[in-house]
Structure 1
Amino acid sequence: MQNPVLLFSFMALTIFCGLYPEKNSDITSILHKNAPLKNGDLIFQTSQSSQSQAIQLATKSQYSHCGIIYQEGEKYYVFEAIQPVKNTPLEQWIARGKAGKYVVKRLKNAAQVLTPSALRKMKQVGDGFKGKNYDLTFEWSDDKIYCSELIWKVYQRGTGLEIGKLDKLSNFDLSAEAVKKKMKERYGDRVPLNETVISPAAVFESELLVTVKSN
């Protein structure tokens, strides 16, 4: 006769393992559930980098990093401007953010705009930035590039759409001590207040986007 305690323990273990699959393998499936991810989706997080707090304070937003989602085969990647510009597996990208929190946004008319040819053009534009250094001084040139600038330029040059309103550095709130310290570190006494910039907050708040996922 089988031991009922051992039998129950085996059944419980089987059920538990079925309910809780391997952690690294289920992040994408959870993200994909109900509202499938699509090529060209934008994803936002609170970065844990040294400059994140300064960006949040200056832009009055909790979001300090962002990228573009692309699918390759069965895997999802985030095309992002870090050091250097590259594709990062989606699971790694999410895990790198504060508390694993994220928001995914999409063009309201993505089905009409993000055609196969438009996506090819966007990837072609993006390929021109791959491997470039991260722009620590947020200059509006293609020599180096930062996260929201990458999104803005890929979309603008690939589809003609401007995702987020361009601004001047002088229009951000530069009064917080953390911001002043970071500005001093990056620019010394020559802060380029007239520099054109696009912040993660401006992209996030674009009226062209709608939120499709968040946690």
Structure 2
Amino acid sequence: MSVRSKAVWMVMLAGLTAGALTAGVPVRATTEVSRQTVADIREGDIIFQVSQSSLSTAIQLATHSKYSHCGIIFKKAGNWYVYEALQPVRYTPLQEWIARGKDKHYVIRRLRQADSVLTPAVLEKMKTAGAKYQGKNYDFYFGWSDDRIYCSELVWKIYKAATGLEIGALQPLKDFDLSRPEVKAKMQEVYGSKLPLSEMIISPVSMYNSPLLVTVTDK
């Protein structure tokens, strides 16, 4: 990576961290999760929201998606968490994760065959598969290596490693809508003049629209 690219990345890293964690919602803000919602939650569920980070608008426009961020729900010590790739990859308490999203809106989608596929043993495999990413930096370049990780990549790779299932189809960067000014500006900021148009990417909307999933909660 060039010195200029490293500098850009560090600036964006600071921007995403500040934007995602402080834009309109304090870091420690929480919101009530209804008893009905908690009753509906299962480990391995995938949760989607509209992020308030600096990248959210560009992601939404480029992918034609309402949602720009996602994670996997797991239970730890009796409490619900979202395992997510933000900055860095980490477990976030569910209430805190919901409060951070735009209008506190979220959708939970579940594997259609969860009862037969997501056994306790497989859920442990998912947690083990995800553990190697914990603490890694967010990937502004949306590359497919494991050096840095973005949100939908984390979820996709965990499911693939533990279940063999591909939740959503990968697409090359060139297949996304890169025509909008907001997207062009962000692409220039991240990549400069050399866009990696053949880089394969898994978008939140591709995962959201996967026929392998069914919506269980839309709040």
Aligned to 1:153: 157
| Deviation string, structure 1 residues 89-114 (Cα, Å, up to 9, x no partner) | 00010000000000000000001000
Instruction: Quote the offset at 1:72 in angstroms.
Output: 1.6
Is 2:139 the partner of 1:104?
no
> Structure 1 CA distance, aligned partners of 2:31 and 2:103?
18
- Equivalent residue in structure 1 for 2:177, among 173, 178, 191: 173
Residue equivalent to 2:95: 91
Work out the CA distance in 1 between the residues paired with 2:30 and 2:147.
Answer: 35
Contact 1:28/1:91, CA 8 A, preserved across alignment:
no
CA distance, structure 2, for counterparts of residue 76 and residue 156 of structure 1: 22
CA distance in 1, matches of 2:31, 2:56: 28
RMSD (CA atoms)? 1.3
Pair 1:156–1:71, CA change in 2 (3 A): same
Q: Deviations over 1:134-173 (max 9, x none)?
A: 0000001000000000000000001100000011000000
Structure 1, residues 68-102: CA drift from partner, whole Å, max 9, x if none? 00012331000000010000000010000000000
Distance 2:161 2:200 in 1: 17
Provide the identity percentage.
54
Cα separation, 1, equivalents of 2:165 and 2:45? 14
Alignment of 1:111-122 (within 5 A): 111-122=115-126
TM-score (norm 2): 0.85
Aligned match of 1:27 in 25, 33, 37? 33
Note if 1:126 corresponds to 2:122.
no
Q: Which residue of 1 aligns with 2:79?
A: 75
Equivalent pair of 2:167/2:207 in contact (CA under 8 Å): yes
Which of 163, 177, 191 lines up with 1:187 in the alignment? Answer: 191
- What secondary structure sits across from 2:183 in the alignment? helix
Decide which of 43, 46, 49 is 2:50's aligned counterpart: 46
**1:153, 1:170 → 2: CA distance?**
22
- What is the number of residues matched between the two proteins? 191
CA distance in 1, matches of 2:38, 2:136: 30
For the structure 1 residues 156 and 190, does the alpha-carbon distance in structure 2 shift closer, same or farther, using more than 3 Å as the test? same
Report matched runs for 1:5-16 at 5 Å. none
The answer to whether the Cα contact below 8 Å between 1:28 and 1:90 also exists between their aligned partners in 2 is no
- The answer to whether the Cα contact below 8 Å between 2:31 and 2:96 also exists between their aligned partners in 1 is no
TM-score w.r.t. the length of structure 1 is: 0.86
Distance 1:115 1:214 in 2: 24
CA distance in 2, matches of 1:170, 1:53: 18
What CA distance in whole angstroms lies between the structure 1 residues aligned with 2:211 and 2:30? 33
Q: 1:26: how far off?
A: 3.5
